[in-house]
Chains A and B, each alone.
Chain A
């Protein structure tokens, strides 16, 4: 475990010494503050639109940070040859993969804490309320969902040659799941065979990330808390997918020549 935490520590250090997070965070803050300072439609419920927009920006920023940070980890190590002195030490390839995953996941957790703290402050400035448990449920499932995205991107970084192609493919897949994932079974019903089986197969095989994405409504529309057992079940479901992707990444990396 010590080796895994050591590798994870380096990933976190890299994230906070790069500009990616700061740029996206400042951009989100500026857009939201500008939106908060004007009320174009003179609508009393404008805070809902503001919250919706702010959460959408947080989702996009977190996905960009998770995918780009993860996609460059192993390829950068190979390209800059830092992988050689690293694997020449008593560190197994499995530990390296788990360390990279943990580092990216924890770094994304820290990013989410910053984003959700800003969101909470922005919403509280208008609503004078802090529904902390609602924020916690949304942020927690968001973070667990990022675990699946990070594990998938890590696997992609071992399969695809260039980090840019991996990032693009992962981003397209995640956006497709978030936007149309929940409707695939309905689409399948309207198709003839073999299209129905193929689409149904995709529906049941791909991870459903739309539940955490839908949690935005919980805080935008001030809905009551979801039962904790359902939150735990969804987290377990997502963690199972993350584990599958990680095991696949370890198997691919195990016999890959590193030089």
Chain B
């Protein structure tokens, strides 16, 4: 298999701002491999290290130890991000721009030729169903529309790898369904999708493989069926793996 995202013994420590406090370990020796063409779910409770992992992959945070690469290129080099798309959790875009202007700006960053950029802008706006609002300022958009603009900007360069950080967070059921449909469509086109989520039902539906981390350590990785095993659902498996004990009422 062609591995396009790899972390090896990835370690991240954050220095404490308190005097004489030991550093907080956010990631501890994380080994991950994501193959081309698969939809990979990255799961874990809050504070497990999912966003930190994504931040390292995008060069936002420098690892304390280990290494991370995209398409075989060290993530610290900007060129490693040429073939990826990224949708952050709860992001706002430049409110003084229209969706079309925003996408034109991002396409310039990717050095897309003008004709190609216009073609991609039309295509992604159609995909996220924002054609009719393309000339409206982003500040007039609803939350769901802003999230769809986010998806559009993540797809502007026709990426081979899409990194989504909780893409359905805060969306209504209709918005979630649309995001799910887009992920499914990208999968059918042979794109690789790496996404973190708390929506386990969604993960079960769209993912080929999942990884579960807790307290910065990889607890499980494999196909959804392998992880679920004899348990009733992915949710049950997740709770077992992260060590959550259900409490019965007295």
Chain A contacts to B: CB under 8 angstroms:
2-3, 5-6, 9-10, 13-14, 17-18, 80-82, 84-92, 255, 257-259
Contact = CB atoms under 8 A, between A and B. Distances in A.
Contacts of A92: 78
Contacts of A2: 108, 111
A17 B139 CA distance: 13
10 contacts: A9-B105, A13-B96, A14-B94, A84-B60, A85-B88, A85-B91, A85-B150, A87-B60, A91-B78, A258-B60
Nearest to B94: A82
A255 B94 contact: no
Contacts of B90: 81
Contact of B86 (A6, A14, A84): A84
Contact of A10 (B84, B91, B94, B111): B94
B91 A14 contact: no
Most buried by A among B61, B88, B154: B88
B184 interface: no
Nearest to B90: A81
B97 interface: yes
B147 interface: no
Given A13-B96, A82-B94, A257 B88 contact: no
B58 interface: yes
B89 to A, nearest CB: 9
A106 to B, nearest CB: 16
A82 B101 contact: no
Given A18-B96, A82-B93, A257-B60, A89 B109 contact: yes
Contact of A89 (B60, B61, B94, B106): B106
Interface in B7-59: 51, 55, 58-59
